[in-house]
Amino acid sequence: MESVYIGVDIGSATVKVVGLSSQGDMLGKPIYLRHDQFPSQVDALKHALKDYLNSVPDYQVAGTGITGSGRELNRHIIGGDITKTEIYAHAKGIRFLLDKGLLNRTRNGEKEKLTKVGSIIEIGGQDSKVIVFDEQNTPIYFNMNTICSAGTGEFLKQLADEAGITLQEFSEQAVLANRSAKIDATCTVFSRRDFRHLTQKGVPLADRLAGICDSMVTNYLTNVVKDQHLPEPILFQGGVAFNQGVKKAFEKYLGTEVIIPPHHDIVGALGMAAIIREEKQRGNNSVQSTTTTSFKEDFFTREYTSQIRFCHGCQNACELSQPMELINEEQIILDTLGGRCEGALQEKNIREYPQTLDMIKVPVLRDASVNTSIIQQEYNSKGNGIRSAKGIYFAGIDGGSRGTKYALIKGTENGIEIKAVGSVETSGDAIKAIQYALIALEKELPYRAVLGGIGTTGSAGELARDMITTKTKETSDVKVTEILAHTTWAKTMVPDVKVIMDIGGNDTKIISIQEHGIEFAMNDKCAAGAGAFIEAISKRFEVPLSEFGKMALTSKAPARISGRCAVFGESDIIHKARAGFPTNDLLMGLAYSICRTYLSDIGKGKVLQVPIVAQGGTFLNQAVQQTFKETLQLSDHEFIIADDPKLVLGAGALGAAILSKEAYEKGSNTSFKGFNHILSSHYKTMTLTCKHDSCERTCNGVISLLENGQPIAGYKSINCEFGMFDGLIERQDVKEHTQKVIKGGLAI
């Protein structure tokens, strides 16, 4: 019977399993799988180990070594003989490959066997690290990222999901880019925000993906490598090494070849297999027994659960996870994890309930003269213009980062009648989403009816405006800010509204209606309090968004989730999930985090007056609704959410349609090109380098929108005295110059 020494790497997103024989050769089939394919991490671990052991038919487990973020929790579950840090495991794994002669580099078209390792770049699901070796192949320096997931594989996974592509397609597309888009590398939230805004401007997907690879590498070099010199040869390992776009970016910034070693995705597990084999065979006293193993052969049939307890020993107020095994209906506590000091291990400090959580104090004013009990059923929107809009149809398009919303209204004697409100997924392609929204609007428009105008808003509002109309001034096809659009719809629905709260996919805003005008605040490049945060966690736990709120509301002890940054918050949830926190407690904790972040960020220093109208898709989540009402101590009449979800989600589109109607009433006419023209036309964007004959500057990265091959608009935040790249092209000289740039080969 073959002895096998098993190495297990249990990371934040994946499980890896590798085995070595007594002679130090790899046995069986290495296993690499993601947690999110299974109901729980224990299920994933069982599946991975069973698959591996099935690939070694006649075996006897001689020892198990465990590394990764889940090593201490799972040591009790599978019976691990030894645990080591990931740095130690990865360094040992690469030394194993080096000693076996499996590391090569290509020089002058020929393979050359490596005799030393200079540096290791390792990027996994949530962790990234660097290890530097000396001339004797001994690690002399290492560093890791913090709890922030900046520059890690999970970030790539989220963007691939957003773009509707697989990670394999991400890799293939990124290397096809003509030019990497400029994306902020300071933080993954900033990078994600830029990615979505470039989507709304129609920047080609390949260019955006290459920009993300550049951003990730820049982030890694700045925050992980820092000022450390990376000696050659440089090896790139971990799950992210599958991505050729990231490899290409590393080589560009480092100016040298980056080598992807064999088994790069399971090096940590391989290192643990080598460590446990050596220590067992050497008789190292650090191993409990040199002749037997702690591995539980019946692990696959054992049942495990966990419970959450809370430490009252000090002001740290640690949340504790106690993994338990079910034996004859008795729950045996295996360990207590999560404490930041020894006090968390003292039974007297462990309670079933958390320490009191201080609530955010936000002043709320109530004016008895203000009607907070009625939402208008007939929407009065009669303008003070020179003509009536009765019987005329108007549309609105709200181009959001996650969804593109549309609305169709009809003018009546006293206001408007809502004919249709809907949404289509933006799915990383704003141009296509706008066309799909127009298809939906055309279907809702009665036969032979014509539009009096289309209003556009949102991050893709300018792009939508430039696709649908031929001019920007004196037209009812208005492009309006999100603030104005949301305020217009809220006042139409609730005339006495004093505060509007809007939480969308990436943007959050608060609008206060004062006697002197409108005051507002928006989030600044952070998704911590936005719907994208909820959507990311929903996908991770495979909980449909429609069920998120219901499941969260079953929580009796919501987890405390970090809310100051979406990346920190997501990492916090991941770590707590790995520690055994129940899913419903994590989801409700996230809902409270959304509320706290919103009120302490953009609501900071504000006095709220009721009634408050809540808008945006995030407020369709029942758990989020409850946290706001509970925190602010408001009734349903004071915190108003429309019964029809479409009126909550489509608030911006409805406001834009109403503002189009008002422009019509004041005498403006539509310059809408017509459904047939727009839907039969081909739209694309090009990234250009502009050099004007009378200008000394060269402007890189400007974007032109083309309709059937002809430039119709341009976008770039530059002060151009010639009017280039500043929205819809209405001047002939600007159009001719743009055509010249494209035809002259200056397009990149």
Architecture of domain 379-474+652-665: 2-Layer Sandwich (3.30)
Residue numbers of the chain with a pLDDT score lower than 70: 12, 36, 146-151, 185-190, 193, 284-291, 315-317, 338, 340-341, 356-361, 368-384, 524-529, 562-569, 571, 575, 578-579, 717-719, 721, 723-724, 744-748
Cα separation, 36 vs 31, whole angstroms: 15
CATH superfamily of 499-650: ATPase, nucleotide binding domain (3.30.420.40)
Long-range contacts made by residues 223-229, C-beta under 8 angstroms, separation at least 24? Answer: 223/145, 223/150, 223/151, 224/128, 224/129, 224/130, 224/143, 224/144, 224/145, 224/151, 225/130, 225/143, 226/143, 228/130, 228/132, 228/141, 228/143, 229/132
Q: Are 611 and 586 in contact (CB under 8 A)?
A: no
What pLDDT shows up at residue 748? 41
The type of residue at 193 is R
Phi, psi (deg, nearest 5) at residue 687: -90, 125
Architecture of domain 108-191+198-260: 2-Layer Sandwich (3.30)
Phi, psi (deg, nearest 5) at residue 293: -125, 150
What pLDDT shows up at residue 307? 79
pLDDT one-digit tens code per residue, 382-420: 556 788 999 999 999 999 877 899 999 999 988 899 999
The domain locations on the chain are 2-99+267-301, 108-191+198-260, 305-351, 379-474+652-665, 499-650, 682-743
Residues with Cβ within 8 Å of residue 289, at least 6 apart in sequence: 81
What pLDDT shows up at residue 41? 74
SS3 322: strand
Q: Locate 644 and state its tokens.
A: 């029809």
What pLDDT shows up at residue 747? 47
What pLDDT shows up at residue 579? 67
Cα separation, 383 vs 183, whole angstroms: 43
What pLDDT shows up at residue 418? 94
737: left (phi over 0), alpha (psi -120 to 50) or beta: alpha
Q: What are the helix (H) ranges across 347-468?
A: 430-444, 461-468
* pTM exceeds cut of 0.85: no
Examine domains 2-99+267-301 and 379-474+652-665 and report if their fold is the same: yes
The CATH fold of domain 2-99+267-301? Nucleotidyltransferase; domain 5 (3.30.420)
Mean pLDDT for the chain overall: 85
pLDDT one-digit tens code per residue, 697-741: 777 777 888 899 888 888 775 667 676 677 888 888 888 888 887
What pLDDT shows up at residue 373? 59
What pLDDT shows up at residue 375? 62
Residue (of 155, 27, 142) closest to 85 by Cα position:
142
